[in-house]
Structure 1
């Protein structure tokens, strides 16, 4: 009987294959939403206008950089669980739940509100993923999800406070 070679991208893991697949699916959804949120945040950064331009422009750039900064860690967690991650813009669009915004003009107030809601939707996804990874006994991902949740909550908080009147 001939030895069968492992699949080229089969990363060794102690997480059972069904649990690993569920963890990967949750993380790939978060990754897709992170890329969608990153691009929307940059879009609004590039197109913000109004009396608070400088403050909003700088805040949105900082938030976009923070979001982009999580994407590599998310994808690497997927790989560490023995799975594959997103490969293209098309793959992102098939997995994302955060909607794009292609409008020609969005008021600064509406930008902040939409991004706040998107960050809170991401928080919901992160909390759902936390339950999945805890069930899979994936302690490493569980701990990182806490950090990513805190970052998304902070972004939502800043967007809320920046949008307050008076």
Structure 2
């Protein structure tokens, strides 16, 4: 037992594995939130002939990400660890860099493809410890996130052809 009145977490996953999984999910949360912010920024600032298409596509993607960050954070909490929730933490944990200035529409698409793929790689990197720990709920969450981000990357990339 930790703090007074705190009950141990006994869900069939060892504490050291829960910590490793939570750490991986913290990276996923940071990547997802950074991509959310970047996508929302581009939604506000996109211009050009593809304005309407991109404005709507970016809105759909950042809206989905806003829901996803909650699911990821809640899974971290269910594993018994605090979820990171500050720009300072995200800047340390995220593999995605923020945009400088306002890029043109094509560069926005390129940066978002790279961001979608980065989130996919981060999710995929958590699988070994998740599989070893038989953490099916996290595996399910990771699989869903990878499906979304791989599809988004494909749809964004198709705009560049």
| CA deviation after TM superposition for structure 1 residue 18, in Å | 0.8
| CA deviation after TM superposition for structure 1 residue 99, in Å | 0.4
Unpaired segments ≥5 residues, structure 2 = none
2:46 corresponding residue in structure 1: 48
- Please report the TM-score for the alignment, with normalisation by the length of structure 1: 0.90
| CA deviation after TM superposition for structure 1 residue 10, in Å | 5.9
Post-superposition, which runs of at least 4 consecutive aligned residues in structure 1 deviate over 6 A? Answer: none
- Please report the TM-score for the alignment, with normalisation by the length of structure 2: 0.92
In 2, the alpha carbon distance for the partners of 1:6 and 1:12 equals 17
Question: Does the 8 A contact of 2:117 with 2:150 survive in 1?
Answer: yes
In 1, the alpha carbon distance for the partners of 2:141 and 2:105 equals 32
1:158 corresponding residue in structure 2: 155
1:22 corresponding residue in structure 2: 20
Query: What SS does the corresponding residue of 2:57 show, helix, strand or coil?
Result: helix
1:125 corresponding residue in structure 2: 122
Deviation track 1:18-61 (CA, whole Å, cap 9, x = no partner) reads 10110000000000110100000011111111011000110001
1:80 corresponding residue in structure 2: 78
Unpaired segments ≥5 residues, structure 1 = none
Supply the RMSD in Å over aligned alpha carbons.
1.9
Deviation track 1:4-28 (CA, whole Å, cap 9, x = no partner) reads 7457596553211110110000000
Asked which structure has the greater CA Rg, the reply is: 1
- Greater Cα shift, 123-132 or 50-59: 123-132
In 2, the alpha carbon distance for the partners of 1:149 and 1:14 equals 25
Question: Does the 8 A contact of 1:9 with 1:82 survive in 2?
Answer: no
